[in-house]
């Protein structure tokens, strides 16, 4: 509970020091023997998954399509519940994190979904402002809805991903890449302790991907927060993340620090990929 106090009111991309969290050794995310089965699918989306994410870690999930990366992120966000096993998010089991009393905990989770999950008819600024709904009272939120809140901070968040000029545009008029960056700007404005990003740069060109990944990685640079991102571009993941978790068919193939990941590891993954599609 106390940790949530410190994260509340944290500004977006500011470099100011954050108050140290009271609990630093607790993992931000803990998966214990987690399996997820969807109805009508012949195999589990993920099975027997155990791993944890510590403060300061920048974790990249890599692997072919359908390997379970998105499911892991949905589990970590509390959007999907495990069929078996337990998921602890910021110290709270995902079974109960949806309860009203855990709202302060949820407000420390930042989510960039693969589908962006933005509200089309709203302006980009309002979609970014929605990142702080967990910290604001309802009247405050409604006021923001009429007249976008701290415009300077929203502007800074959009500037960090290079679309400050789109601030007053309607979100559904933005291109796919701009929408993706709006979703990222929302989490920058939110300043979460656990940042979950599902293919955050899938719609961006290489140079922009590099810049946006740097911004995301910077979020976890202070040692108190963590980033978990699923990615397709393994070299990009190696450059910006501290740890690589490689997935295939719902299982972990390898889980090691980026510095330990060699070309052989990656080509083995690609080889598996080819075999899987044949």
CB of 135 to other proteins, least distance (A): 7
Between CA 10 and CA 78 the distance in angstroms is 23
Q: Does 106 bind other proteins (CB under 8 A)?
A: yes
Q: Which stretch binds other proteins (CB under 8 A): 24-32, 50-58, 75-83, 254-262?
A: 75-83
CB of 78 to other proteins, least distance (A): 5
Q: Does 108 bind other proteins (CB under 8 A)?
A: yes
CB of 96 to other proteins, least distance (A): 13
Q: Does 180 bind other proteins (CB under 8 A)?
A: no
CA angle, residues 155, 17, 139, in degrees to nearest 5: 50
Rg (CA), the chain: 18
Q: Which stretch binds other proteins (CB under 8 A): 129-137, 174-182, 233-241, 263-271?
A: 129-137
Q: Does 151 bind other proteins (CB under 8 A)?
A: yes
Between CA 131 and CA 158 the distance in angstroms is 13
Residue from 22, 65, 259, 262 touching other proteins (CB under 8 A): that is 65
Tell me how many residues contact other proteins (CB under 8 A): 64
Q: Does 80 bind other proteins (CB under 8 A)?
A: yes
126: three-class secondary structure by DSSP? helix
Q: Does 236 bind other proteins (CB under 8 A)?
A: no
Between CA 43 and CA 37 the distance in angstroms is 7
Between CA 271 and CA 58 the distance in angstroms is 25
Between CA 179 and CA 172 the distance in angstroms is 8
Sign of CA dihedral 95, 225, 245, 62: positive
Q: Which stretch binds other proteins (CB under 8 A): 18-26, 158-166, 219-227, 260-268?
A: 158-166
Sheet holding 29-36, edge to edge: 46-53, 29-36, 84-89, 92-93
* Closest CB to other proteins among residues 105, 157: 105
Q: 63 with 234: CB under 8 angstroms? A: no
What are the respective helix, strand and coil percentages of the chain, to the nearest 5? 40, 20, 40
Q: Does 109 bind other proteins (CB under 8 A)?
A: yes
* Closest CB to other proteins among residues 103, 239: 103
7 sits in which H/E element: helix 2-7
CB of 108 to other proteins, least distance (A): 7
DSSP 222: T
Please state the separation of Cα 261 from the chain's center in Å.
22
Q: Does 206 bind other proteins (CB under 8 A)?
A: no
Residue from 10, 58, 69, 225 touching other proteins (CB under 8 A): that is 69
Binding site for other proteins (CB under 8 A): 36, 38-41, 45, 65-71, 74, 77-80, 98, 100, 103-111, 113-115, 117-123, 125-126, 130-131, 133-136, 138, 141-142, 145, 147-148, 151, 164-168, 190, 192, 199, 202, 232
């Amino acid at each position: 509970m106390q940790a949530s106090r410190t994260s509340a009111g944290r500004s977006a991309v500011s470099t100011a020091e954050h108050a140290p969290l009271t609990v630093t050794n607790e993992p931000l995310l803990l998966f214990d023997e987690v399996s997820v089965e969807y109805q009508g699918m012949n195999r589990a989306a993920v099975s027997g998954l155990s791993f944890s994410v510590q403060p300061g870690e920048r974790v990249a999930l890599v692997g072919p399509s359908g390997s379970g990366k998105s499911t892991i992120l949905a589990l970590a966000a509390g959007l999907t519940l495990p069929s078996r096993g337990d998921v602890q998010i910021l110290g709270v089991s995902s079974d109960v994190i949806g309860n009203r009393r855990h709202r302060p905990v949820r407000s420390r989770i930042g989510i960039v979904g693969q589908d962006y999950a933005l509200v089309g008819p709203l302006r980009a600024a309002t979609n970014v402002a929605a990142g702080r709904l967990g910290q604001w009272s309802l009247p405050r939120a409604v006021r923001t809805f009429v007249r976008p809140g701290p415009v300077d901070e929203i502007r800074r968040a959009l500037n960090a991903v290079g679309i400050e000029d789109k601030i007053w545009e309607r979100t559904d008029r933005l291109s796919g890449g701009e929408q993706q960056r709006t979703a990222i700007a929302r989490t920058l404005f939110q300043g979460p302790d656990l940042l979950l990003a599902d293919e955050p740069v899938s719609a961006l060109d290489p140079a922009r991907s590099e810049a946006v990944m740097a911004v995301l990685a910077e979020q976890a640079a202070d040692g108190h927060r963590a980033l978990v991102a699923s990615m397709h571009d393994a070299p990009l993941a190696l450059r910006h993340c501290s740890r690589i978790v490689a997935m295939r068919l719902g299982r972990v193939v390898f889980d090691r620090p980026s510095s330990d990941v060699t070309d052989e590891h990656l080509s083995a993954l690609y080889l598996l990929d080819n075999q899987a599609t044949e």
